[in-house]
Amino acid sequence: MSAEQIVRLMNEEDLAVNRALQVAEIPIARAAERVAEAYAAGGRIIYVGAGTSGRVATMDAAEMPPTFGIDSDRFVSVIAGGNAAGVTAVEDAEDSVGSGIAALNQLPLSSRDVVIGIAASGTTPFVVSAVEHAGRIGCWTCGIANNRGTPLLEVVSHPILLDTGPEVLTGSTRLKAGTSQKMVLNRISTIAMVLSGKVIENLMVDVKASNAKLKDRCVRILRELAPVTHDEALELLEQNSWNVRRALDAVGMASRR
């Protein structure tokens, strides 16, 4: 096949990702609600994965603090092979049953926490053993897998099947399976933060202004929510440590919170 033909084939195959997420809309929504409840109760959301699934989970967890202004320990990822596996494949780490349990015990777990296991095959020992252990402790557990009738979906409180079908490259789950996992975690974490009041309208009012681009975004958010000029918004934000919510309070827009 030519490069163009392969692109076309992959585009056609990726349509299965959206179809799978549409089929799973209700279980995804229920998972987001439970994550929001856990967050409100002071619990953590702990992702457990290996390989591509672990790296996808690590990415989602890492993006939560700057996007929604939350503490870095509220969304946590546990990946087979440890932090190094986030950038370098450690393929044999996923076969260890005890390592997943040990990694959760190091946190340590509380019954207020939510544990979400992600594994395309649904059979990864590291992930299955970890979520099963979390369930015994009393955590609400969720499993995300791309194969039906697999152990991960059977041992969790709440299974989410993403039936994306065979990969263009047989067994290469970094393709459709990985894409679907990234999309479902986006939905769960974003919806949970919306339900938790971390968003006004569709604006990230708790975004951390850690660079020039994000400071400019804070100015635009404040101007959209309050009747202020660019210079007034800039001054208000500088006076309030670049906290959009406090700036809104300063101009009497507390009702928008």
List, in sequence order, every residue forming a beta bridge with 48; answer none if it has no partner.
78, 117
User: Rounded CA gap, 114 and 54, in Å?
Assistant: 16
- Residues with a catalytic annotation lie at 63, 94
Helix then strand then coil, % of the chain, to nearest 5: 55, 10, 35
List, in sequence order, every residue forming a beta bridge with 47; answer none if it has no partner.
77, 116
The residue whose two tokens read 């929001």 is 36
Bridging pattern class, strands 75-79 and 45-49: parallel
- Residue 83 buriedness (CB in 10 A; 0-12 / 13-18 / 19+): exposed
User: Rounded CA gap, 182 and 184, in Å?
Assistant: 6
- What b/e readout covers 100-134, taking b as 16+ CB neighbours within 10 angstroms? bbebbeeeebeeebbbbbbbbbbebbbbbbbbbbb
